[in-house]
Amino acid sequence: MKLNFWIYLCLAMLLAVPVTVIGCGGDDDDDSADDDDTADDDDTSGDDDTSGDDDDSSVGDDDDSSVGDDDDSSAGDDDDSSAGDDDDSAAAAPDCDTYCASRVANCSDDAAACAAGCAAAVAAGMPIGANGDTGGNTLGCRIYHSDVAGATSDVSHCGHSNLFGGTSADGFPCTNTLVDAYCAIVLANCAPGGANEVFADFAACAVAASSVPSSGTLGDTSGDSIECRIYHAEVAATDAATHCPHAGGAAPCQ
């Protein structure tokens, strides 16, 4: 009886002792080791999604940061920034240096003559426009067509890109009106202050030309029309004494 009592007592004492489970440290879900919630995992520090070299951090070489070599930053060598060597940075506005470099290379212009003519045209009020203009009375349009002439070896674009905005043959793609074209040509080839002057300046030309009928066809050599006057203003480049009066409205353009 006494023996059984002690056996039962010992068993009761053993059952009353807490069982301690020794966990396996390291790669689990909740501790600080190599798991899902801390270093080198998916949700916290290290090489994961919230910092370092990843897709979503605020620093580093990633896709969404505000700095670095990435796609969305506001600076650096990327695709969307407002500055730096990227695809969206602001390009320089069209200028005479760019225009004349293209004309010399692609249309065999004389550099000095181009520089003087372009500066005079801009000073007279020719709009600068924007890079890539394909039409309209802008310097940007003239640069575009000159560059196309070089890229395609299509010299017809050299006519489009002259300082007059085109020719009678191509319809003046880089002007807004025939008056723009006429005044640019007549002021260049029948220069103010010279023996063959037709108009003193662009303003005087624009006022006079606005009342001239545009009932002809570009290339007309006679008739009371702006088209006839444009033709004679163009050929005045090689014979101003003969053609400047015609360009001003004398016969055969009366």
Question: Which tens digit of pLDDT belongs to each residue from 16-43?
Answer: 555 444 444 444 444 444 444 444 444 4
**Please, which residues have CB within 8 angstroms of residue 126's CB and are 6 or more apart in sequence?**
137, 138, 139, 163, 184
Single-letter amino acid code for the residue at 94: P
What pLDDT is stored for residue 43 in this prediction?
A: 47
Q: Residue 247, SS3? A: helix
State both tokens at 153: 């070896």
- pLDDT at position 187 is 92
Query: 41 in a domain, yes or no?
Result: no
211: exposed, middle or buried (Cβ count in 10 Å: 0-12, 13-18, 19+): exposed
Cβ(178)–Cβ(230) below 8 Å: yes
Residues of the chain predicted below pLDDT 50: 1, 19-54, 56-60, 62, 64-65, 67-70, 72-78, 80-89
6 belongs to a structural domain: no
Is position 142 within any domain? yes
> Can you give the residue range of the structural domain that contains 203?
178-247
Alpha-carbon gap, residue 148 to 165, rounded angstroms: 15
Q: What is the pLDDT of residue 108?
A: 96
**Alpha-carbon gap, residue 147 to 151, rounded angstroms:** 6
- Please report, to the nearest 10 degrees, the dihedral formed by the alpha carbons of residues 189, 192, 198, 201 taken in order: 110
What pTM does this model have?
0.62
d(CA 42, CA 55): 12
> For residue 5, what are the contacts with CB-CB under 8 A and spacing of at least 6?
none
Do 102 and 146 fall into the same domain? yes
Number of domains in the chain: 2
- Residue 124's pLDDT is 81
From CA 216, how far away is CA 224, in angstroms rounded?
A: 8
Is residue 50 within 8 A of residue 58, CB to CB? The reply is no
The C-alpha atoms of residue 44 and residue 157 are separated, in whole angstroms, by 60
> Does 9 fall in a domain?
no
Tokens 């203003």 appear where? Answer: 233
Asked whether residue 91 is assigned to any structural domain, the reply reads no
Same domain for 154 and 191?
no
Looking at residue 13, its pLDDT comes to 60
Contacts of 54 (CB under 8 A, 6+ apart): 47, 48, 60, 62
pLDDT given for residue 123 in this prediction = 87
**126 domain-assigned:** yes
Q: Is residue 87 part of a domain?
A: no
Confirm whether 86 is domain-assigned: no
